[in-house]
Amino acid sequence: MASASTPPAPKLPDAICVHCGQRFNSAHCAYGVNEAKLPADVRAAFVKLHRDADAEEFLLRCGSRSASVRWAQSAAASALRATLSLTDANGLVGRGCMHVLSTPQARALLRPGEALDKAPQPRGVLIDVGAGDGSVTAQLAPLFEHVVATEVRTSSAAPLPPRALTRPPRR
């Protein structure tokens, strides 16, 4: 089993879910799985990941907005919901970003056994359909030679052009 390890995470500030009002603290953000409950074939292929520096930075950034900013975003998104989907409303007020995997985590999953102390060699094609703001695409892009990202929602796709992913020419 591969493992992407990280030092102990700092304590995150409490956050309140904008949808249900539930309070969350850093204990709620812990990664974990009871491997004993996995079927044998899944357990054999399971790769345990840990909350790494990129995930920590994302969580801290999300929790760093003041209560008044979060309230204003929530109020604006609620008003926009009269005519827009939840995804579009959240995208327009700037609260639709995601963190799924960091580049090192994706590398551990997609290229087990590859030496992590060397820069990854981009290969293959990444096609991200429904790329949102491109933040997940940006984490995966260093692993691929060609990247195509599409997004039909205008509110989500707006950040895509400034995030144009480029790679230096191969030598």
Q: For 11-42, write each residue's pLDDT tens digit.
A: 556 666 656 667 776 666 666 788 999 999 99
Residue 160 near residue 133, CB atoms below 8 Å: yes
Residue 129 near residue 52, CB atoms below 8 Å: no
Q: Give the pLDDT confidence of 106-163 residue by residue, as tens digits.
A: 998 888 888 777 888 889 999 998 888 788 888 999 999 998 888 877 666 555 555 5
Q: In terms of residues, how long is the chain?
A: 171
Q: What is the pLDDT of residue 37?
A: 93
- The pTM of this model reads 0.65
Residues 142 and 137: their CA atoms lie apart, in Å, by: 9
Taking phi over 0 as left and psi of -120 to 50 as alpha, with beta for the rest, 90 belongs to alpha
The distance in angstroms from the start CA to the end CA of the chain is 34
Residue 107 near residue 143, CB atoms below 8 Å: yes
Average pLDDT over residues 91-112: 84
Instruction: Give 15's contacts (C-beta < 8 A, 6+ positions apart).
Output: 23, 24, 25, 62, 63
Q: Read off the amino acid at residue 7.
A: P
